[in-house]
Each structure stands twice: as C-alpha cells, then as structure tokens.
Amino acid sequence: MKQAEIVVIGGGPAGLCAAMSAAKSGAGVLIIDRNKSLGGQLVKQTHMFFGSEKQYASTRGIDIPEILLKELAKYKDKVEIKTNSTAVGFYEDGVITVLEKEDKYYKVEPKAVVVATGAYEKFLSFPNNDLPGIYGAGAVQTLMNVHGVKPGNRVLMVGAGNIGLIVSYQLMQAGVKVAAILDAAPKIGGYLVHASKIRRMGVPILTSHTVKEAIGKDFLEKAVVCKVDEKFNPIPGTEITFDVDVMCISVGLTPLNELLAMRGCRMKYVPQLSGLVPVRDENYETTVENIFVAGDASGVEEASAAMVEGYLAGLCAAAKIGYKPDDFYERRKDYMNQLNNLRSGPAARHILAGLDQIRR
C-alpha cells in the first residue's frame, strides 16, 4: 500500500491549483489523472479566457496548464504526478484504488483527499441520435484541437451556452462551416460577446428551437429542427431541414463525482449546480472529514472559479493534517474574496442560488 499525505484526484485547473496550494503549505501531494497529460479541459480551449488577471484572464486556455505546471515545479520535492492513472475505488476505509494504464492496480492511503474530477457532458434524446456524425461538443473539441482532425464539413450546433458558442467559433477557425446554432431556451445562454462574434460571421442563432430528428443511412445526412413554445413543446409546421454531416450536442455538463458518493459523502441534487453535488462547508470540505472537493466536480462553473476553489481546498486540506502556514487566514480570505468577486454578477446568480442549498 502506497502512503501519501494528500491525494488530489484529477489534474485539471482545480486539481493543479489544489496541489500547488497544499504543497506551498508544506504538505506532500500525489496528483493522479486518467489522461496522458495534465490540464483537464484546458488542453482544448484555444480561446482567450474571461475573469481577471489572478485567474489568467485574456490568456488562452491551452497556455494555462503550462503556467500552472511551471508554478507547481517550484514544489517538485513535495509533489508526485501520476498520469494515465484512474481512481476507480474509494470506500469507507479511506483507501483509494488506482488503475495505472490498463493493467496495473495499486492502493493509496492518504491523510486527506481533494476530488477535482471535473464534469461530463449531457446528451439529448431524439430519433436517430446514435448516427455517426453526432458528437458531444467535448469530443469535437478534442478531435479538432488536440488531434488536429476535422469532424466533418458542415455542422449544426445544438446549444447556445458558452461551450456551444465557443466550439462553433473554433469550428469556423478550423475551416468547418457552421450552418446554425440552436437552443431550446428563448434566450442565448452564453455570454453575448461570444454570440455577437459568431453572429457577425454570418451564423444564425435560433433560440426556441430544438432537434426533431436526425436523418441518414450510414451517417448523418440531414437534421430536422423545429420551433418550441414556452413549455418547450414542438410547434408543428415549423420544421427546418439542414444538410449537415455533423451535429454537435452542447446542452450542458453534469458534475463527475461518483467517487465522493462511493466514499459516503452526503450528496444533494442542485439543478443550479448542474446535478448531484457533495454537501460541503465554506472550505470545500465534504461531510466526510478530510475529504475535499473543488472545481466542476463540486458544481459546474468556470475554470476561473475552479482554480480558486482548488487553491482554497488545497490550503484547507493541508491545514487539516497539520500544515497550517502563518498566512493561512490571509490566504483563505483572499481566495474567498476572489470567489465572491467572480460570482457577484448576473451571470453567476444561479451559482449563488445553488450554493445556498449546499452549505453544510
């Protein structure tokens, strides 16, 4: 059995910042991530980020992992990194089972854990939604921005949240035509600066529209969409058919946190945080002592908030096991202020409403 002071599960922005923060306090940290390289969602975000300087605003997402890893390298005698390693089990005995590559299992017994496993994509049900050519937005982004493969020639984007808008823009940058962006909601969900920059490329955004069916024999050939009323019921006679070979589904994310449920942390369904999330206190400690959560796994938000949550959870996890630095209260206050600042606007009203239901 491997021993570790703090294990961080997931090496996205939240996990990297949690590890950095805990190591800065003096704790030994083991980061495990199932991917080949660290960075989580960031490795496919070729666009500039929002937020403020402290969260690397205006820097392209793809460049942020390098900045974080450089910072993390300052504590290299405290930090061990295991990629290609998936946490597959986490039970009452507090032991984490890790699967390395595809064949090697081992166990780790940590004093504290930060779960920063991110989120996974929701899908949509409609006839023939299993035709080749129908992808989740994350898959399209991975193909295009990680592997340099065009997903097709003409895309219908389903979902006008930030992800749908940004992936549409990136598709156009890759030379793929975007026929239209639809959303069942009556208003565009993403930031309007993103919507405007796509609209002025000539791409129509159809709000109050949904997918009726996909058509194709061996792969997607056409998509039929229709208008919906205020109750999201399709309105007959409003069908439009698009000749597309790709449909990209971007209808939101769900927190990925089964490990916490497995470990016995109290979970609660909070729609504003996009699904089942762990109950936690203001330090991001769950209902099980020394088990912390950070980032999208604690509720789907943004990389900016994920990083700050990571710093906070890492700091508090280290303090709980005896590494409480002199500037603990200052650092904690700074992170809490940054989170409040990020969440103070109308774009985050739902997050605040969600957080109200989840505090321990």
Partner 1 sequence: MFEKTGIPSKEMVMEKFPSQDRINKGPVAIVECYREIPCNPCETACRFNAIRVGEDINNIPQINFDKCTGCAICLSKCPGLAIMIADGSKSEDTVEIKIPYEFLPLPGEGQVVKGLDREGKHITDVKVLKVTNPKSFDRTPVITIEVDRKFLYEIRNIRVEV
Ligand X SMILES: Cc1cc2nc3c(=O)[nH]c(=O)nc-3n(C[C@H](O)[C@H](O)[C@H](O)COP(=O)(O)OP(=O)(O)OC[C@H]3O[C@@H](n4cnc5c(N)ncnc54)[C@H](O)[C@@H]3O)c2cc1C
Q: Which is nearer to partner 1, 191 or 242 (CB)?
A: 191
Query: Cβ(246)–Cβ(131) under 8 Å?
Result: no
**How far is the C-alpha of 147 from the C-alpha of 23, rounded, in Å?**
33
**How far is the C-alpha of 7 from the C-alpha of 95, rounded, in Å?**
11
**How far is the C-alpha of 357 from the C-alpha of 83, rounded, in Å?**
35
Among 40, 110, 189, 275, binds ligand X (CB under 6 A): 40
**Contact positions with partner 1 (CB under 8 A) in 215-274:** none
Residues 6+ apart with CB under 8 A from 162: 189, 190, 191, 194
10 touches ligand X (CB under 6 A): yes
Q: Which stretch binds partner 1 (CB under 8 A): 47-55, 125-133, 241-249, 250-258?
A: 47-55
**How far is the C-alpha of 136 from the C-alpha of 141, rounded, in Å?**
9
50 touches ligand X (CB under 6 A): yes
Residue 257, binding choice from ligand X, partner 1, none, Cβ under 5 to 8 Å by partner class: none
Q: Where are the alpha helices (DSSP H) in 83-188?
A: 137-141, 162-173
Residue 273, binding choice from partner 1, ligand X, none, Cβ under 5 to 8 Å by partner class: none
Q: Smallest distance from the beta carbon of 240 to ligand X, in angstroms?
A: 26
Q: Which stretch binds ligand X (CB under 6 A): 21-29, 159-167, 274-282, 320-328?
A: 159-167
Q: Smallest distance from the beta carbon of 257 to partner 1, in angstroms?
A: 24
Q: Smallest distance from the beta carbon of 283 to partner 1, in angstroms?
A: 22
Q: Which is nearer to partner 1, 206 or 279 (CB)?
A: 206
**How far is the C-alpha of 181 from the C-alpha of 146, rounded, in Å?**
23
**Contact positions with ligand X (CB under 6 A) in 190-229:** none
Q: Smallest distance from the beta carbon of 78 to partner 1, in angstroms?
A: 32
Bridge partner residues of 225 (DSSP): 211, 240
**Contact positions with ligand X (CB under 6 A) in 72-131:** 86-87, 116-119
Query: Cβ(12)–Cβ(39) under 8 Å?
Result: yes
The 3 state secondary structure assigned to 300-348 is: CCCHHHHHHHHHHHHHHHHHHCCCCCCCHHHHHHHHHHHHHHHCCCHHH
Q: Which stretch binds ligand X (CB under 6 A): 181-189, 267-275, 277-285, 298-306?
A: 298-306
207 touches partner 1 (CB under 8 A): yes
Q: Smallest distance from the beta carbon of 205 to partner 1, in angstroms?
A: 5
SS3 154: strand
Residue 45, binding choice from ligand X, partner 1, none, Cβ under 5 to 8 Å by partner class: ligand X
Q: Smallest distance from the beta carbon of 298 to partner 1, in angstroms?
A: 18
SS3 359: strand
Residues 6+ apart with CB under 8 A from 163: 137, 190, 250, 253
Residue 192, binding choice from partner 1, ligand X, none, Cβ under 5 to 8 Å by partner class: partner 1
Question: Which residues would be at the binding site for partner 1 (CB under 8 A)?
Answer: 47-53, 57-60, 172-173, 175, 186-188, 191-203, 205, 207-208, 304, 341-348
